[in-house]
Amino acid sequence: MKAIAITGQGGLEKVQYVDVERPKIGPHEVLIETRAVALNHLDLFVRNNLDSLKLVPPHITGADGAGVVAEVGSEVHTVKIGDRVLINPGLHCSVCEFCQAGEQSLCARFGIMGETCSGTFAEYFKVPQANVHPVPEGFSWEEAAAFPLVFVTAWRMLISKAAIKPGEDMLILGIGGGVATAVLQIVKAIGLRAFVTSSSDDKLQQAQTLGADAGINYTTQDFAREIRTLTNRRGVDVVVDSVGGDSYAKSLATLVKGGRLVTCGATAGPRPQTDLARIFWNQLSVFGSTMGNMREFAEMLNFVRKRGVKPVIDQVFPLADGAKAFARMEAGKQFGKIVLKVSDGA
């Protein structure tokens, strides 16, 4: 079968369209004939860290995917051949104390499709049956592939960690990225006021069409000062910062007393300067969050289906052009999700 694989530690030249063997499934696994897959920052991370992740090339990356069930293992009873499905990309052991408590994303052996095992960027991929969910009605294959990882990540941050409430003010850093865009869509559906930052005026404008209440270009404006102005010096209740780096201390400075900051990534660097005096004096809460548990995934799916929230798709490439898709993500040009179309089923 055809696949996009990382053929060694390195740059874009290591993202190649290759022939590999179709995966063989175990008794609790499902084989999916892929229709569409979506890129995440994780795929760049895997490509850049193949050696330290101890992955053997050619390694198929890809966390998100949707398609038709092609084969089921002997112990699979929840799905059948021909079902239209998408996947929860988080992999867990089911037996550790965290899994037993229903906190699968805290699993001692937590993994993600494409990072800790072979991923979705291929004509077929396999997953445990617990990770397979039906595609919501009215969703195209591209939409079904595009939302699971970023929406479950956003959901856990907003609902389980920050516990957002309608009417609150929120700041979202780096709009355009998949998680930031999902966060904006969820908070606008719930009824918060949302401010966003970007280095691109185009992205700020696109965010406003999605409901953002104001956009701040952080290359020409001090976003902490702008937030003070926009909130009559009060500050926002919640910041979602998946950027880190130099923005982090400023993110803390935008919060109201008792405010909450949630982080799920550090695209500008994981060891920023911080401001402990501000954290204790203003009694701020800082939450870390990764992916989501099975309950949150189901809740998020339900929300998306009921509210008709669909992911923003930036661009769709054929699977063979996987390297072009990687280049677009690496350049940070995207607004929303970059998708690879694998097959239309014909």
Contact residues toward Zn ion (CB under 5 A) are 92-93, 96, 99, 107
Nearer to Zn ion, 107 or 127 (CB): 107
CB 309 within 8 A of CB 154: no
Min dist. Cβ of residue 167 to Zn ion (A): 37
C-beta closer to Zn ion: residue 28 or 310: 28
CA 74 to chain centre: 32
Per the CB < 8 A criterion, the answer to whether 5 and 20 are in contact is yes
Q: CA 273: distance to chain centroid?
A: 25
Task: State in angstroms the smallest separation of the CB of 62 from Zn ion.
Answer: 23
The residue among 93 and 309 lying less far from Zn ion, judged by its C-beta, is 93
Of 99 and 216, which has the nearer Cβ to Zn ion?
99
User: Token pair of 229, please?
Assistant: 């102005």
Q: Are 242 and 177 in contact (CB under 8 A)?
A: yes
Give the residue carrying structure tokens 């994981």: 270
Peptide bond into 58 cis (omega under 30): yes
Q: Which residues pair with 90 in a beta bridge?
A: 112
Cβ-based nearer residue to Zn ion, 22 or 28 = 28
Q: Which long-range contacts (CB under 8 A, 24 or more apart) does 80-86 make?
A: 83/132, 83/134, 84/134, 84/135, 84/144, 85/30, 85/32, 85/132, 85/133, 85/134, 85/135, 86/132, 86/133, 86/134, 86/135, 86/144, 86/145, 86/148
Q: How far is the CB of 99 from Zn ion (least distance, A)?
A: 3
Please, which residue, 117 or 323, has the CB nearer to Zn ion? Answer: 117
Residue 222: CB partners within 8 Å, gap ≥ 6?
250
**Smaller CB distance to Zn ion: residue 116 or 285?**
116
Burial of 185 (0-12, 13-18, 19+ CB in 10 A): buried
Q: Which is closer to Zn ion, CB of 107 or CB of 300?
A: 107
Residue type, 132: V
CA atoms in the 13 A half-sphere facing the CB of 172 = 32
Q: How far is the CB of 93 from Zn ion (least distance, A)?
A: 4
Between residues 109 and 165, which has the closer beta carbon with respect to Zn ion? 109
- Quick check: 127 and 113 in contact, CB under 8 A? yes
Nearest-approach distance from CB 107 to Zn ion, in angstroms? 3
> Closest approach of Cβ 192 to Zn ion, in Å?
33
Residue 242 C-beta: closest distance to Zn ion, Å: 25
Residue 232: how many other CB atoms lie within 10 Å: 7
C-alpha span between 309 and 198 (Å, rounded): 23
Q: Give the shortest CB-112-to-Zn ion separation in angstroms.
A: 14
10 Å Cβ neighbour count for 80?
10
Give least dist CB 204 to Zn ion, A.
41
